[in-house]
Structure 1
Amino acid sequence: MDGRRPAAADERLTVGQVPERFGVTVRTLHHDDVGLLRPSERSAGGYRLCTEDDLLRLPADSAEAMEAAEAARRQIHERFYDLSPELHRALADMCVGDPRFTKTHQDLEPGPAQYVRDAIHAHAAHAARVAG
């Protein structure tokens, strides 16, 4: 990903802080009617607060998530071996399905292993639609 970190397990972000942290627009996040971001807590002052779990529920098929998936795929493709979107999807499944790989990812960044897998799947499905 691009170095932005989700909130720590005990950290709460206001809806205004989320776009700054993740590089999305406030308008993108204010689509409660479609379930894009649903903060689960409120501050004493009434501000909506987002937890790590709230942030991990952001859609994995968002443009930002798919761009991050493509950047990761391209990095592997350019530095190591040919990596089609389909093979990237299989790697993502392995990283979530094999506890050893999941632990490695969770040790680096707690929480988002399943989200990354879902973003890679969304990107591979998009790439297949575009290609064919």
Structure 2
Amino acid sequence: MTVTYVIDGAEVTGLDRFWQVIGAAVNGPGGYFGNNLDALADCLSGGYGTPDDGDFTIEWRRPDLSRRALGHEETVRTLQRRLERAHSTGKAAVQARLDAARAGRGPTVFDELVQVIEETAPGVLRLG
């Protein structure tokens, strides 16, 4: 039997809030289901609240609201934080992404989250 976890796009007001919303959806209030893209991929791979057989769906309702909240403005904020922590060998790449995001170009935080979910757990995500 497929377990469905629901994310309400209206509750996703930024990336930090996304981690809280998905954590609560999967593991109840205050629950954990990642706090960065790598951790999200790990959680999607199993052992962090989803069924052992992998039979689950993430239903992201009103994704248009999340798409706006996790758009280029939030992407700029997120990339600025990454740039502060980036190793010297990776700073140029992060800076290039940051410059693009400031210009309203390139993938957004929303796009990255969707990509990680779709690549790590194909067929799990339902937008809408």
TM-score normalised by structure 1 residue count: 0.28
Looking at CA atoms only, which structure, 1 or 2, has the larger radius of gyration? Answer: 1
Structure number with higher strand proportion: 2
Structure number with higher helix proportion: 1
